Structure 1
Amino acid sequence: MGFEFIADRPVLDFLPTLAERGHTDVEQLTAPQDFADWAVQAGIVEQPPHVDDAALRQAKDLREAMFRLVRALIDGTDAAPADRELVNDAAAGPLPELRLDADGVHRTGDTDAVLTVLARDCLELHASDDRHALRWCADEHCTRAFVDRSRGSRRRWCGMRGCGDRAKAAAYRRRRRTSAP
């Protein structure tokens, strides 16, 4: 499966592996191999880690806790202590191992290392200036959070490919209908 990486932050690219939350709830991590593939495609590790059903459940639980933390950050509400504890515990885990060989730097790690990277990125997001620029995509079915780094902070879509393109096409069709004789 090919995943979309448009957020410039691992945590914000991981959260939409459950897409269209509250609408169709499209789960992209349906099998352990899906999470292993996501970790490689995200560039966290080079080789897929071994993921069993328990590790997949752990990854999904962490994803949901991080989603609630990001939602609380955007909405200006208090985060649940259980979500903070789960993310803090995951962030304390081992990081992927970096090794420099003649052909470059290599990243290796197990599922716990991948989850540690994601949890730490979530915590770093809370500590960075990006937290002030977090927004929800304006597409009614998209539940992606993104960092609005646009001039004037007026960006509305998580990305122009997909949500932005659909919105522009719909606006064009509306204009064409209203101007038709």
Structure 2
Amino acid sequence: MYQKYVKRMVDIILSLFALIFLLPVLIVIALLIRFKIGSPVLFVQTRPGLNEKLFKMYKFRTMTNEQDATGQLLPDELRLTRFGKLLRATSLDELPELFNILIGDMSFVGPRPLLVQYLDLYNLRQKKRHKVRPGLTGYAQVSGRNSLSWTERFERDIEYVENISWLLDLKIIFMTVYKVFKQEGITSEDSATMKPFEGNFDE
């Protein structure tokens, strides 16, 4: 009952109140991004959601569009600005996803939505992560976020899907607040974000 009815209702109510309450913060961050990084202020990318349905995910922009001599974007670590690092460290870059939650693309808690190109790389077990709405935060995030290996990350996601409950959601939300204040697991050891997933076809 919780997963089918209550969870979605809570998402709608909380995301609506959060968007109203945080509107001044959203405006200030947008203006700072426009001044420090440039336009557009939002990073919009297609991601797979519930049942692998594609949707547009919204985040605040944290990187520039700097290119090399051949016109290719520079590596993430070179385009990630100091202000962008601050937004990521505090998770403020994730705030626009509240709109995704309100319209039903996402939930407050669930496996984080990954890249579309990874869809063909998942094995059957890993595909289970798409049986629920992706989340603003999730079990993998509070267990290490980008510092986890892909194997560990998927196992946390699947563990959540198989054991979803209001108590687990509440636990993950409280752990998320703690992790944000501690600023843990923001990056992997040798990347500005997370190493690309190259596939694991073991069943």
* TM-score in terms of structure 1 length: 0.31
Instruction: Determine which structure has more spread, i.e. the larger CA radius of gyration.
Output: 1
* TM-score in terms of structure 2 length: 0.29
